[in-house]
Each structure stands twice: as C-alpha cells, then as structure tokens.
Amino acid sequence: MRVVVVLALVATAVVGLPVKGVVRAQGMRQPSAAVSKPPFPLDNPEAIAEGAKRFSASCTGYCHGREGRVSRAPKLRGKVYDPNFLYARISNGLLVGQSGLPMPAFQTMLQPEEIWKIVAYIMSLSNAKDD
C-alpha cells in the first residue's frame, strides 16, 4: 500500500496526475441516517396519500412494483414492517439487496418528513393483497 501511495505521489509530482485516481477502493461508504421521529401519526390519511405520490414518483415500476406489488426488489404489500426500519432503509439505501439489487439512499434527496410519509404509505399496505 505504501508503495502505491509513494508511486502516486511521485506520479503527481512528475506529471500532475491526481492521487485519487490510484487509490484502490471497493464500492462506497454508506451515509448514515439522522435520528428522526415521525412528525405525524403514521395512520394519518393525508400523510399516506402524499407518501403514495412520492413512492410512485420514486422508481416503483422498476423496483418495488406499482403499489408495492411483486418485483425484483422486495414486495411491500401485505407485510408488517417496523417503521423505524423502513425510515432507516429509505434513508440509507442498501448496497446489495435481494437478487443483487442496490437500493438508492434517499436521505440527501428527501426531507425527513417526506421519508416519513413514504413510511406511512408502506405501513398502510400491510393489509393490501395482490390483484
């Protein structure tokens, strides 16, 4: 490793190559989710409706299936989840999920309240059945 770093520094000094390019790495670090609590009851109908819209706009057909139906990513209908688990998973994403799929991390894209609305929507699917 020391050799790599030295070579990188030499290369940088001689021809101006960026050190970053020769650092070895595998994959990426996971961002951490900030601690958060739902700002509304998770059975709030308005929150669920807004969560449904946000869920629909965030890769449902390709990933979790429309309204949480079966897909390559886990089916969400008819399942009972811990809301804190859902919040953390939506925030942090997953490097390697089911069937070798990654799940994007949404914490930089969505405000905590928006993530909680998605959680509320997914929780509302616990009694839903496939068509």
> Interaction with other proteins in 27-56: which residues (CB under 8 A)?
27-31, 53, 56
Helix 112-124 with 83-92: angle, nearest 10 deg: 130
Structure tokens at 34: 């900030």
Alpha-carbon distance of 130 to 78, in angstroms, equals: 8
Phi, psi of 126 (to 5 degrees): -60, -25
* Positive or negative torsion for Cα 78, 58, 89, 73: positive
What would the x/- binding string for other proteins be over residues 76 to 115, using CB under 8 A?
-----------------x-xx-xxxxx-xxx-xx------
Minimum CB separation of residue 80 from other proteins in Å reads: 20
Options 1, 25, 34, 80; binder of other proteins; rule CB under 8 A: 25
Footprint of other proteins (CB under 8 A): 11, 17-18, 20-31, 53, 56-63, 65-66, 69-73, 75, 93, 95-96, 98-102, 104-106, 108-109
